[in-house]
Amino acid sequence: MNLLAKIYVTLKGSVLDPQGAAVTHALHALSYDAVRDVRIGKYMEVTLSATDETQAHELVRGMCERLLTNPVIETYTYELAEVEQ
């Protein structure tokens, strides 16, 4: 089966996010005063094939932990969905 994994990588809560802070500032400068806070992370779309969903979950978790994130500073979540073709 073919799948699309949408992976969201964010900095751990305890790690400062200067990029988010800068964007918050910039939004305030544009008068978006309603904005309280911005955190910025990475969004990855991985298309892959797998024999079944269990295997797919295993694959995605594996690649997140080995390569796609650095556990010292980042955490991740993901969604997995079947796609055509």
Partner 1 sequence: MPSGEAQIGNDRQSEREAATEAAMEEPTAEQVKERGLYRSFGLTDEEYERIVSLLGRQPGYVETGIFSVMWSEHCSYKSSRKVLRRFPTAGPLVLQGPGENAGIVDIGDGLAVAFKIESHNHPTAIEPYQGAATGVGGIIRDVFTMGARPVALLNSLRFGSLDQARNRYLFAQSIAGIGGYGNCIGIPTVGGEVVFDERYDHNPLVNAMCVGLIEHGQIATGTASGVGNPVLVVGAKTGRDGIHGATFASAEDPHAKERSAVQVGDPFMEKLLLEACLELIATGKVVGIQDMGAAGLTSSSAEMASRAGSGLTLDVSRVPCREAAMTPYEIMLSESQERMLVVMTKGEEHVAQEVFQKWGLEASVIGTVTDDGLLRIREGNRVAAEIPVTALVDEAPVLDRPATRPRYLDELLAEPKLTEPEDYGQDLLRLLARPTIASKEWVYRQYDSMVRTETFVRPGSDAAVIGVPGTGKALALTTDGNGRHVYLDPYAGGARAVAEAARNLVCSGARPLAVTDCLNYGNPEKPEVFYQFEQSAAGMSAACEALRTPVISGNVSFYNESHGVDIYPTPVVGMVGLIEDLALITTSEWKGARHDVYVLGALSDSAGSRSRLGGSEYLAMRDPANALRHAPAPLDLDAEAALQRLCAEAIRKRLIVSAHDVSDGGLLTAFAECAAAGDLGADLNLAGDGHALMSLCFGEGASQIVAEVEPSNAAALEDLAAQMAVSAVHCGMTNSDGALRVSAAGRAIVNIGVAALRESWQGAIASWMQ
Partner 2 sequence: MKCAVVQFPGSNCDMDAVKAINHAIGESADIVWHTVASLEAYDLIILPGGFAYGDYLRAGAIARFSAVMEAVAREADRGKWVMGICNGFQVLTEGGLLPGALRRNESLQFRSEIATLEVVNAETAFTRHYRAGETIRIPIAHGEGNYYADEQTLLRMRERGQIIFRYAREHNPNGSVDDIAGVINERGNVLGMMPHPERAVHERLGSADGARLFTSIFESWREAYAKR
Binding site for a copy of itself (CB under 8 A): 2, 6, 8-10, 20, 23, 26-27, 30, 32, 34-50, 59, 62-63, 66-68
Q: Which does 58 bind (CB under 5 to 8 A by kind): partner 1, partner 2, a copy of itself, none?
A: none
Question: Under a CB-based contact definition with an 8 Å cutoff, are residues 41 and 11 in contact?
Answer: yes
What is the number of alpha carbons within 13 Å of residue 75 lying toward its C-beta?
6
Question: Under a CB-based contact definition with an 8 Å cutoff, are residues 83 and 4 in contact?
Answer: yes
Residues 25-64: x where in contact with partner 1 by CB under 8 A, - otherwise, as a string:
----x-----------------------x---x--xx--x
